[in-house]
Structure 1
Amino acid sequence: MSTAAATCVIIDNNEIDLYLLEHLVRLTKELRLVSSFTDAHEALRFLQTHTGIDVLLLDVEMPGLSGLDIMRQLGQPHPAVIIVSSHRDYALDAFDLHVADYLLKPVEYPRLQEAIRQLRPVASPELVPHTLPEAEAEPGSHDLFVKVNNRLVRLDFKEVLYIEAMSTYSVLVTARQKFIVHYTLKRIAERLPFAYFRRVHRSYIVNTRLIDCIEDNVLTLAGHEVPLAKSYQDELLHSLRSL
């Protein structure tokens, strides 16, 4: 995004939520509201015939055409998409479609500002992603606090199989569940104090203690498959022999 106000379109079939988003956008000097829609089909036609839209605030659950369906039908290039949803269940599918951010309703103004700042290629220190919060723990502890949806959650990293990068987010995967955290993989790698976590791909860090097998440049951990990039292969194999 440039220093000029970015053009913005909002799509949300809930009129109250739409009104709130319009209000927040008008408060945001970095954004200029072009149009807003409650009808998903009408909005898609608009986006397909109007170029120059920078940012799209997009709901997911809408009758007839979901927000994810809209993304799949948008041509390239398309606006930076910020999903705005009442449910976190769609986050993984959304990041597979390379959304810029994922906001939960009701949207708070500071959180929207953060999402917009992340779109701007600025090197200001205040825009650097937050570091991974660490828990004060006894020696030998494998627990850390991670920030999940504005809550600090204690997580036993012995149970984390791997960490996957998704845009400005990362997904921490255990055998039972997934945690989506608002930190880049690079920042997590810098803060993780556990030597048994190793980068194996530009998009993956794995728990080497939980690797079941390695075959054809693929790691298997509790039934999950993770790619092993050639550039990381020798270092990983050396570390495994050293355990």
Structure 2
Amino acid sequence: MTRPFACVLVDDNEINRLTLEHLIELTPELTLAASLPGSLEALQYFRQGGKADLLLLDVEMPHLTGLELARLLPQPTPPVIIVTTHRDFAVDAFNLQVVDYLVKPVDLPRFTQAVTRVLDQQRTLATPPSPELPSEAPGSALFVKVGTKMLRLNFDEVLFIEAMSTYSILVTATQKHIVYMTLKALAERLPFAHFVRAHRSYIVNTQRIDAVEDHMLQLGKYEVPVGKSYQEDFYRHLRGL
């Protein structure tokens, strides 16, 4: 899209709306389509044909929570960024495949990061589809789709892969690469036996584990938890190395 993204803001707190309206105004890629004081007004807006390229959504609102609203929106739903004072709703929010989850008060750098994720996601969706892992390069390298380009990545350098909503983050010692595949889809395509699921949100390169303590894996400067339901299979794999 070359035009600004039409943004709809839903929050029952007027001060919060004014703050987010100002952040939208400071973001050239966005334009404010509607600023609404509650979920019922938002539901009416969309049911009457209102459009949005991006929905900024509070959670705790009278009559209908933001998460309940997200489930009721007509299809196709716009990308959703949750903006709330509480972290407790994060799991439910990402189960709805929201793009990002912001905790108030929101500053401009964090807001910009969230908007950039939406823009990157929408540009990728607008790009003609191609296989994310189309071919294997010699050795431990694969071509992966990162943004709009195919990147040859040496998987020996990948420490772990983290799930983030509908995409995955490949983490090396020096870089992070966003791949527009779910962790489950990526796990099904990886040909390397030493990449093992350790948690619902993590696949780790067992060859890059420096230490294991109290169900936490040390990989360089990072720590990754071993999920309770994954512990038996994961540790069996480690003992077999």
Query: TM range, normalised to the smaller chain?
Result: 0.5 to 0.7
| Contact 1:185-1:203 within 8 A present in 2 as well | no
* Residue type at the aligned position of 2:71: R
Over 3 Å counting, the alpha-carbon distance change for 1:37 and 1:237 in structure 2 is same
Over 3 Å counting, the alpha-carbon distance change for 1:191 and 1:167 in structure 2 is farther
Kindly provide the CA deviation profile for residues 121-167 of structure 1, in whole angstroms up to 9, marking residues without a partner as x: 369xxx98xxxxxxxxxxxxxxxxxxxxxxxxxxxxxxxxx986132
Question: Distance between the aligned counterparts of 2:205 and 2:85, measured in 1?
Answer: 32
2:82 corresponds to 1:83? yes
Secondary structure at the counterpart of residue 170 of structure 2:
helix
| Contact 2:98-2:165 within 8 A present in 1 as well | yes
TM-score scaled by length of structure 1 = 0.58
Report the alpha carbon displacement of residue 52 of structure 1 after superposing the two structures with TM.
Answer: 3.4
| Contact 2:97-2:165 within 8 A present in 1 as well | yes
Report the alpha carbon displacement of residue 30 of structure 1 after superposing the two structures with TM.
Answer: 0.6
Over 3 Å counting, the alpha-carbon distance change for 1:87 and 1:222 in structure 2 is closer
| Contact 2:161-2:170 within 8 A present in 1 as well | no
Q: What is aligned with 2:47? A: 48
Report the alpha carbon displacement of residue 109 of structure 1 after superposing the two structures with TM.
Answer: 1.2
Report the alpha carbon displacement of residue 240 of structure 1 after superposing the two structures with TM.
Answer: 4.4
Computed over aligned residues only, the root mean square deviation of the Cα atoms, in angstroms, reads: 3.6
Question: Percent identity over the alignment?
Answer: 43
Over 3 Å counting, the alpha-carbon distance change for 1:12 and 1:238 in structure 2 is closer
Report the alpha carbon displacement of residue 204 of structure 1 after superposing the two structures with TM.
Answer: 3.8
Q: What is aligned with 1:216? A: none
Q: What is aligned with 1:199? A: 196
* Gaps in structure 2 of 5+ consecutive residues: 125-145, 148-159, 175-193, 207-211, 216-225
| Contact 2:197-2:230 within 8 A present in 1 as well | no
2:99 corresponds to 1:100? yes
| Contact 2:163-2:201 within 8 A present in 1 as well | yes
Question: Distance between the aligned counterparts of 1:21 and 1:37, measured in 2?
Answer: 12
Q: What is aligned with 2:137? A: none
2:185 corresponds to 1:187? no
Over 3 Å counting, the alpha-carbon distance change for 1:54 and 1:207 in structure 2 is same
Over 3 Å counting, the alpha-carbon distance change for 1:115 and 1:186 in structure 2 is closer
| Contact 2:161-2:169 within 8 A present in 1 as well | no
Over 3 Å counting, the alpha-carbon distance change for 1:187 and 1:26 in structure 2 is same
Question: Distance between the aligned counterparts of 2:38 and 2:86, measured in 1?
Answer: 20
Question: Distance between the aligned counterparts of 2:237 and 2:86, measured in 1?
Answer: 43
Secondary structure at the counterpart of residue 89 of structure 1:
coil
| Contact 1:10-1:35 within 8 A present in 2 as well | yes
| Contact 2:11-2:61 within 8 A present in 1 as well | yes
Matches within 5 A, 1:18-167: 18-121=17-120, 165-167=163-165
Over 3 Å counting, the alpha-carbon distance change for 1:47 and 1:36 in structure 2 is same
Secondary structure at the counterpart of residue 99 of structure 1:
coil
* Residue type at the aligned position of 2:170: R
Over 3 Å counting, the alpha-carbon distance change for 1:97 and 1:198 in structure 2 is same
Question: Distance between the aligned counterparts of 1:7 and 1:51, measured in 2?
Answer: 10
Report the alpha carbon displacement of residue 112 of structure 1 after superposing the two structures with TM.
Answer: 1.1
Question: Distance between the aligned counterparts of 1:38 and 1:76, measured in 2?
Answer: 22
Over 3 Å counting, the alpha-carbon distance change for 1:186 and 1:114 in structure 2 is closer
Over 3 Å counting, the alpha-carbon distance change for 1:44 and 1:105 in structure 2 is same
Question: Distance between the aligned counterparts of 2:52 and 2:69, measured in 1?
Answer: 15
Over 3 Å counting, the alpha-carbon distance change for 1:165 and 1:37 in structure 2 is same
* Residue type at the aligned position of 2:72: Q
Question: Distance between the aligned counterparts of 2:75 and 2:94, measured in 1?
Answer: 17
Q: What is aligned with 1:224? A: 229
